[in-house]
Structure 1
Amino acid sequence: MPAAHSSATALDFVRFALNEGVLRFGSFKVKSGRMSPYFFNAGLFNSGRSVGALAQFYAQALLDSGVAFDMLFGPAYKGIPLATATAIALAGHPDMQGRGDVPFAYNRKEAKDHGEGGTLVGAPLQGKVVIIDDVITAGTSVRESVEIIRAAGAEPAAVLIAMDRMERAGPDDALSAHSAVQDVAKTYGIPVVSIASLSDILALLQDDAAFGEHRDAVLAYRTKYGVK
């Protein structure tokens, strides 16, 4: 099952994502073809300040989770800046004092045949490795990352993501029993830690009158497609 996180940190993150335009309400056609009443696009964290703040949220969620880890891994391409920035945030985090510097690595999509060669860049994969990405949709990048980590003799320790949509996959008349996040946790036997989830978005809609008009649409979407 997904790992728990700090609700205060989660709500702060939802507000941050709204302020940055990364989380939006309205009517959006998403990758699955569904019309969603909200849209989360972590690619819009695209400035030094916003990515620096995002990395602080990643670092805090990871430390709050209690997951034991030795290093970070960022799957190409979105995971590369996320793992890099989170390693920097961890290096300056007060809870990391005495634990040493956190190495990170990432993969290339295409193998390099010159220089150091291969598909891996960064620190050698060893010990307990946390995979960092923005969201989990089909779980493809997680599967590839787990294979890379295990092939190097290291251990996948967790997946760390920004937003858990808590959503079942498939056509409306044949929805999957579990969400992509739940499937990843079950398939690989590792926790999935999210900074925030659909529950946190709904909590904000409940508490903040400025966004209250969107609550019913988001709630209806969760009732139709969501998991507990």
Structure 2
Amino acid sequence: MSVEQSANRTDFVRFSLQQDVLRFGEFKVKSGRLSPYFFNAGLFNTGASLGRLAQFYAQALVDSGLQFDMLFGPAYKGIPLAAATAIALAQHPSRGQADVPFAFNRKEAKDHGEGGTVVGAPLQGKVVIIDDVITAGTSVRESVEIIRQAGAEPAAVLIALDRMERAGADDALSAHSAVQEVSQRYGMPVVSIASLADIMQFLEGNAGLSAHREAVAAYRRRYGV
């Protein structure tokens, strides 16, 4: 990883804290676990914060070196992410203002007008699926099916945060994280702007948050990969 890539990841953790998207404390999460941190990408809910988030997504995708032709945003969270990231990619200095098509799906099929469930540019070529996080992998599975049915190729998944966390009950934890399982199942990379490892590295260098270091480290030892 280059210095620039590392800086982008650190800057994203800092930005998430500033926007109150990343919080430290004690949170009961959907799995029932008590987590020492909470990440809610839905709180990137202003024009300025979404625009900056999209720049982080674009930079992470550029840094990955992956070849791609367009973006796909699964309903509903992925829709504004795909649109905003397409704008950020079109404005990225390293891409020579190359225009980036995007598409998304609607949950219910439309039986009038253009019909169907896919909206936006035609799905073709290498398609990057963009979402906030991967938990159960349901939206990825649905997206892969939609993309393949259109004759296009799912090329990667782009997310904001890799929690690096195994699923399941404490006495029956999965062998891999949700991100690892998605990557193995579909044979494609999962690119994240940042990960739990980046959060821990940020805590190491931040005296004001030092009280949370051990709790996050203990959580990773218990559930992490």
What TM-score comes out, normalization by structure 2 length? 0.98
The 5 A counterparts of 1:8-157 are 8-97=7-96, 100-157=98-155
CA distance in 2, matches of 1:30, 1:211: 21
5+ residue gaps, structure 1: none
Match of 1:190 in 2: 188
Matched, 1:159 2:150: no
The structural deviation recorded for 1:176 is 0.2
The structural deviation recorded for 1:9 is 0.6
The structural deviation recorded for 1:8 is 1.2
The structure 2 residue matched to 1:200, chosen from 174, 198, 201, is: 198
The structural deviation recorded for 1:222 is 0.2
Structure 2 counterpart SS, 1:6: helix
Highest RCO, 1 vs 2 (Cα 8 Å, sep ≥ 6):
1
CA distance in 1, matches of 2:33, 2:95: 41
The structure 1 residue matched to 2:214, chosen from 210, 213, 216, is: 216
CA distance in 2, matches of 1:6, 1:148: 31
5+ residue gaps, structure 2: none
CA distance in 1, matches of 2:49, 2:27: 23
CA distance in 2, matches of 1:123, 1:110: 18
CA distance in 1, matches of 2:155, 2:146: 13
Query: Counterpart of 1:42 in structure 2: which amino acid?
Result: A
Count of residue pairs the alignment pairs up = 222
Query: Counterpart of 2:45 in structure 1: which amino acid?
Result: N
Q: Could you report, residue by residue, the CA deviation over 1:89-118 in whole angstroms, capped at 9, with x for unpaired residues? A: 0111111106x3100000000000111110
CA distance in 1, matches of 2:32, 2:5: 32
Query: Counterpart of 2:13 in structure 1: which amino acid?
Result: V
The structural deviation recorded for 1:14 is 0.1
Query: Counterpart of 1:105 in structure 2: which amino acid?
Result: A
The structural deviation recorded for 1:221 is 0.2
CA distance in 2, matches of 1:174, 1:107: 35
CA distance in 2, matches of 1:125, 1:23: 33
Q: Could you report, residue by residue, the CA deviation over 1:96-146 in whole angstroms, capped at 9, with x for unpaired residues? A: 106x31000000000001111100000000000000000000000000000
The structure 2 residue matched to 1:172, chosen from 166, 170, 173, is: 170
Alpha-carbon RMSD: 0.9
The structural deviation recorded for 1:31 is 1.0
The structural deviation recorded for 1:43 is 0.1
The structural deviation recorded for 1:6 is 1.9
CA distance in 2, matches of 1:21, 1:111: 35
The structural deviation recorded for 1:7 is 1.6
The structural deviation recorded for 1:21 is 0.2
Query: Counterpart of 2:223 in structure 1: which amino acid?
Result: Y
Q: Which runs of 4+ in 1 moved over 2 A?
A: none
CA distance in 1, matches of 2:148, 2:210: 46
What TM-score comes out, normalization by structure 1 length? 0.96
Structure 2 counterpart SS, 1:173: coil
